[in-house]
Structure 1
Amino acid sequence: MQPLNQATLMQLTDSALVTPSPVQLPRYRRTDAHVGVVHLGLGAFHRAHQAMVFDALLQRGDPRWGVLGVAMRTTELADALAAQDGLYAVQVASREALRWQVVGAVLQACVAARESAQVVAAMAAPGTRWVTLTVTEKGYGPALAALLVQGLAARRAAGLGGLTIASCDNLSDNGRKLQQLCVDAAAQNDAALAQWIDTACAFPNSMVDRIVPAATAQHRSDAAKALGLVDACALGTEEFWEWVIERRFVDDEDGDALAAAGVHVVEDVKPFEEAKLRMLNGSHTAIALIGAVLGLPTVADCIARPAIHRFVHGFMTDVMMPQLQRPGLPAYRDALLARFANPELRHKVHQIATDSSLKIPLRWTATVQARLLAGASVEPLALATAVWMRYLLGADEQGQAYAISDPLGETLQATAQQHRGDVPGTVRALLAVTSIWGEVLPHDARWTARVEHWLQVIRRQGVAAALAQLHPSD
């Protein structure tokens, strides 16, 4: 079987003219496209998200959105993509159907640690208009700043204008943080360059969302069957995607172009960011902990249970949504529930439960505080917190042990084990972790009482009984 590359893509395209292909293929001439976007952080998420948006723009006849995909350190993916002329197939899964799409937006691929000169030259090229990033929060450090500043310095020296530099990650206020990182790094050696970066470049805040599981051998096998070609870079994702970006661009017309491809271009990203954090991420954590204790392997397995579906619906509707300002919250909630139910994603609960001590403060704690201050119900959050405390015992209700992957995992598990037979003691000890719950909640009698109540139910009767008691009329 031949590999996927530009030559074999042309064969597929020619065949599709005779016999319609079930695989969506690029309808544009890739030779007419040029690199207008340098993307830092080449990986599965970018290839199933921004690259597909840029592919849609190329499909619309705008050749300026070709991508140089830059892996920061690891070489395997970049080299595999280079061997395939940047082409790869994506399996897009909804509950109703699977479809395949060959994405052609990545025109070149390289590795920053190995080919930094190529990356700098690309940022300084006249045709480059954007830099996008999907690096982790931990990646916002000196090495990233140095690379960006080097590229921007070369661009300024060539007498070219600034770039739109868009962070596409889960970091709140990401555009401003990246802007400050670059300005501070440049200012150490060149105050004029720092001023130019601050004024000539645009750093929009953005929020991105799409579940992209790690690529597997099954994806590659399925791609071979669909394409009749070997694709070493095949991956899968869900039908849903979202990119919300602040209207802050070097070229104002870019906002209209992105909007035509389905991107939300808005004045303020914050309401969308908060809704994602509290409704999607907050629910995900709750589902993962419930699933782990019940011994259910995936999010879809959890949501298939009516009691958990009802819990998550109420968690979002009654507790999270009243605190949020995003437009169209009921439709957003329903879209999230449909995503959670998608069995094709195989999103493992223990993967999502990772680092819960870091996630809970961002996803739950502020809502608990706001609800208590307003005198409103905190029941679903109190129950979820009790489930978290039960999860820390390190074994599900069938006695199957599991590892707790968390920076505080050993300490929290030891605390839970120490107070195993003492519900009030467990609640006091675990709520006393101020890095998770802050300084106020551990001393709030109402909150403490509700968490104790639900932990008592869970210890005596199990999580399923607690969920049933939360919705006794169902």
Structure 2
Amino acid sequence: MSLPVLSRAADARPAAPVRILHVGVGNFFRAHQAWYTDQAPDAADWGIAAFTGRSAAIADALAPQDGLYTLLTRGADGDEATVIASLSAVHAAADHSAWLGYWRSPALALVTLTITEAGYLRAVDGAVDLADARIAADVAALTGGGAPTTAPGRLIAGLAARRDAGLGPVTLVPCDNLPSNGRALRDVVTSLAAAVDGTLVDWIGENVSFATTMVDRITPATTDEHRAAVGALLGRADASPVPTEPFSEWIIQGDFPAGRPAWEQAGARLVADVEPFEHRKLALLNGSHSLLAYAAPILGHETVADAIADPRCLAWVEEWWDAAVPHIALPAAELAAYRAALLERYRNPRIRHLLAQIAYDGSQKLPIRTLPTVLAEVAAGRVGPGSLRPVAAWLLHLRGAGAPVHDVAADSVTALAAGDLREAAVRVLGLLDEGLGGREDVVEALLAAAADLAR
């Protein structure tokens, strides 16, 4: 006997008026920003129109469910199922007319993004990469009346439509693991605007705010087991539930001239400076995740929980944290508590967080998650395996050890890692920072860490 499908008539409140646009309808967004909006006391006033990043699959899955889905919170002692109603509309990325229509609405106040580090398409100077073929195609589309396909291009199209409609302020809220992600997004957007329509740059300066955020919630991929669990708990069929952990954190800095939901009453923190919290999370959580993603599969582990149960992997994580902590400007007691909380989260056996999934796009992630600690330790005169082990594990990963390589720069980075190991180490270190590859002590420490991993 089939279960009834989720519907607003039976399972949730009516769709709220759309005041938020979102790009990237992945599981993380649905466990994080959409959940905070749903849990805010004024949720009935703040609907989200969410657009997919590339594939239309999630839009197709949620359409028969009125945009509803179940958040399956997996604690160590059991599951909790919550129907999330904040998505008032879900569109495929290709629905460009709908995208522009929302930008032309006076009600629009916020645009949030979860597009991953790779989605910003930045050049080395932080501006948009105009040499990238996808950006070049968007410039042609934007200047010729076509529809752009990248996230930066879609934002420029929307901002131009809002300006041309004579409408006012909007806040862009990036929710990806980039340091100072608000500034990073501003640099990408304004540089692309300058390439497309110089007059748009001034309008953006007067009407667009760029919030900075730090986001955290472990959210694995959805499986049939999660669908079955939701069916058993709710008696409803959900084609796309979202499994997640009990822990969630959202730190927000910025101005919201057109308003925002009362996210702080759902647990978000509004602060004057995100940077210390961002540094803590990128170094301790994301840095250790990348270490495990590249090192633990070499030992045969598939998930974070499997890896952290291995004393060898646990020791590597603690060693990495010991290297990172001296460079984070937060009280020692808070950092110790955060480390303990991370271990509790990693050990949750009901969160099947795949290491191979975390390993994607290391070329984009290591410069942000790992390199700052490596450089800080080298500057402090401490050159050893503690800080360099994540880089050594990534080097071996690129050479075929552990999880398969899935990287936006796969061809170039695997070429750098090929051949003689010492020469490869020099090239990979040089890719991360040109000064590192020329230091014999750093190369030797990296090779020692690689030998330890390969034992």
Q: Cα distance, 1:267 vs. partner?
A: 2.1
* Identity value in percent: 37
Matching residue within 430, 448, 453 for 2:425: 430
Query: Against the structure 1 CA distance between its residues 446 and 83, is the aligned structure 2 distance closer, same or farther, given a 3 Å change threshold?
Result: same
* Counterpart Cα distance in 2 of 1:74 and 1:289: 27
- 8 A Cα contact 2:425 2:443, kept in partner: no
- The alignment status of 1:312 with 2:296, answered yes or no, reads no
- The alignment status of 1:338 with 2:344, answered yes or no, reads yes
Q: Cα distance, 1:202 vs. partner?
A: 0.9
Aligned to 2:104: 124
Q: Cα distance, 1:111 vs. partner?
A: 2.1
- 8 A Cα contact 1:168 1:207, kept in partner: yes
Mapping of 1:296-307 within 5 angstroms? 296-307=301-312
- The alignment status of 1:44 with 2:30, answered yes or no, reads no
Q: Cα distance, 1:444 vs. partner?
A: 3.0
- 8 A Cα contact 1:427 1:451, kept in partner: no
- The alignment status of 1:364 with 2:344, answered yes or no, reads no
Structure 1: 5+ residue stretches without partners: 10-25, 397-401, 420-425, 463-474
Q: Cα distance, 1:104 vs. partner?
A: 0.5
Q: Judge which range, 362-371 or 98-107, deviates more.
A: 362-371
- The alignment status of 1:66 with 2:86, answered yes or no, reads no
Q: Cα distance, 1:73 vs. partner?
A: 4.0
Q: Cα distance, 1:78 vs. partner?
A: 1.1
- The alignment status of 1:84 with 2:65, answered yes or no, reads yes
* Counterpart Cα distance in 2 of 1:73 and 1:405: 17
Residue deviations 1:292-332 (CA, integer Å, cap 9, x gap): 1211221111111234323322321x210101124522222
Q: Name the SS for the 1:244 alignment partner.
A: strand
* Counterpart Cα distance in 1 of 2:327 and 2:267: 26
Residue deviations 1:151-210 (CA, integer Å, cap 9, x gap): 334434444321111111123333233334444444556555432221122111222222
- 8 A Cα contact 1:92 1:237, kept in partner: yes
* Counterpart Cα distance in 1 of 2:370 and 2:293: 14
Q: Cα distance, 1:5 vs. partner?
A: 0.9
- 8 A Cα contact 1:124 1:152, kept in partner: no
Matching residue within 266, 291, 302 for 1:286: 291
Aligned to 1:20: none
Mapping of 1:97-108 within 5 angstroms? 97-108=78-89
Query: Against the structure 1 CA distance between its residues 294 and 86, is the aligned structure 2 distance closer, same or farther, given a 3 Å change threshold?
Result: same
Structure 1 counterpart of 2:290, which letter? T
Q: Judge which range, 372-381 or 219-228, deviates more.
A: 372-381
Q: In terms of Rg, which structure is larger?
A: 1
Q: Cα distance, 1:42 vs. partner?
A: 2.0
- The alignment status of 1:163 with 2:151, answered yes or no, reads no
* Counterpart Cα distance in 2 of 1:111 and 1:332: 38
- 8 A Cα contact 2:210 2:254, kept in partner: no
Query: Against the structure 1 CA distance between its residues 182 and 394, is the aligned structure 2 distance closer, same or farther, given a 3 Å change threshold?
Result: closer
* Counterpart Cα distance in 2 of 1:266 and 1:172: 16
* Counterpart Cα distance in 2 of 1:456 and 1:190: 53
Q: Cα distance, 1:338 vs. partner?
A: 1.7
Aligned to 1:30: 14
Residue deviations 1:239-268 (CA, integer Å, cap 9, x gap): 2222222122224x648x222221122222
Mapping of 1:367-406 within 5 angstroms? 367-376=373-382, 378-388=384-394, 391=397, 394-395=400-401, 403-406=404-407
Aligned to 1:2: 4
Structure 2 counterpart of 1:260, which letter? Q
Aligned to 2:125: none
RMSD: 2.8
Q: Judge which range, 188-197 or 129-138, deviates more.
A: 188-197
* Counterpart Cα distance in 2 of 1:197 and 1:254: 19
User: Relative CO higher for 1 or 2, CA cutoff 8 Å, sep ≥ 6?
Assistant: 2
* Counterpart Cα distance in 2 of 1:243 and 1:448: 37
Aligned to 1:198: 205
Residue deviations 1:398-421 (CA, integer Å, cap 9, x gap): xxxx64445156435642xxx4xx
Q: Cα distance, 1:357 vs. partner?
A: 4.7
Matching residue within 393, 396, 411 for 2:415: 411
Q: Name the SS for the 1:109 alignment partner.
A: strand
Q: TM-score, normalised by structure 1?
A: 0.80
- The alignment status of 1:321 with 2:305, answered yes or no, reads no
Q: Cα distance, 1:341 vs. partner?
A: 1.4
Query: Against the structure 1 CA distance between its residues 324 and 433, is the aligned structure 2 distance closer, same or farther, given a 3 Å change threshold?
Result: same
Structure 2 counterpart of 1:34, which letter? P
Query: Against the structure 1 CA distance between its residues 228 and 194, is the aligned structure 2 distance closer, same or farther, given a 3 Å change threshold?
Result: same
Mapping of 1:173-322 within 5 angstroms? 173-187=180-194, 191-251=198-258, 254=260, 257-316=262-321, 318-322=322-326
Residue deviations 1:358-413 (CA, integer Å, cap 9, x gap): 433333333223222222363423455555555556357xxxxx644451564356
* Counterpart Cα distance in 1 of 2:248 and 2:161: 35
- 8 A Cα contact 1:64 1:127, kept in partner: no
Q: TM-score, normalised by structure 2?
A: 0.83
- 8 A Cα contact 2:293 2:358, kept in partner: yes
* Counterpart Cα distance in 1 of 2:396 and 2:198: 54
Structure 2: 5+ residue stretches without partners: 121-134, 139-147
Structure 2 counterpart of 1:300, which letter? A
- 8 A Cα contact 1:315 1:380, kept in partner: yes
